[in-house]
Amino acid sequence: QVQPVESGGGSVQAGGSLRLSCVAKGYFYNGACMGWFRQAHGKEREGVAAIDRDGEADYIGSVKGRFTISQDNTKNILYLQMNNLKPEDSAMYLCAASTRPLDLASTLIWVRRAFWGPGTQVQVDG
């Protein structure tokens, strides 16, 4: 059973940085992808960044140039480096692991088909 577990969230001032990590226990990377999603209170879940087995990454427009997704395939660890954080980045950040390639924008498909962690809270104060 795949059990992603996130860590690294916290509270920072605007302009600060955080690095999120996700250990996907029991996950065997094979023609699949992993992604970071976020959900703010009262808002829909949105895909932030995703990466495939070849390291090809995709980002939503609002985080391009500020966030970097990366992975350590040997350890099944996914990272999200977040720089120049803004108050609107505040949300619960969740890691998802998929056994098949998925489009970052297809959040509902990720919800149905991927394995999800419990999330880590990020608070950015302005």
pLDDT at 89: 98
pLDDT at 76: 79
Which whole number is the average pLDDT over 109-118?
93
Q: How is residue 54 written in tokens?
A: 């070849």
pLDDT at 73: 74
Q: Residue 5 pLDDT > 60, yes or no? A: yes
- Residue 65 has phi, psi (to 5 degrees) of 85, -10
Q: How is residue 18 written in tokens?
A: 């955080």
> Which is it for strands 120-125 and 10-13: parallel, antiparallel or unpaired?
parallel
| Tens of pLDDT, residues 7-50 | 999 999 999 999 999 998 777 655 488 999 999 999 999 999 99
Which whole number is the average pLDDT over 77-104?
95
How distant, in Å, are the alpha carbons of 34, 59, 122 from that of 103?
10, 11, 24
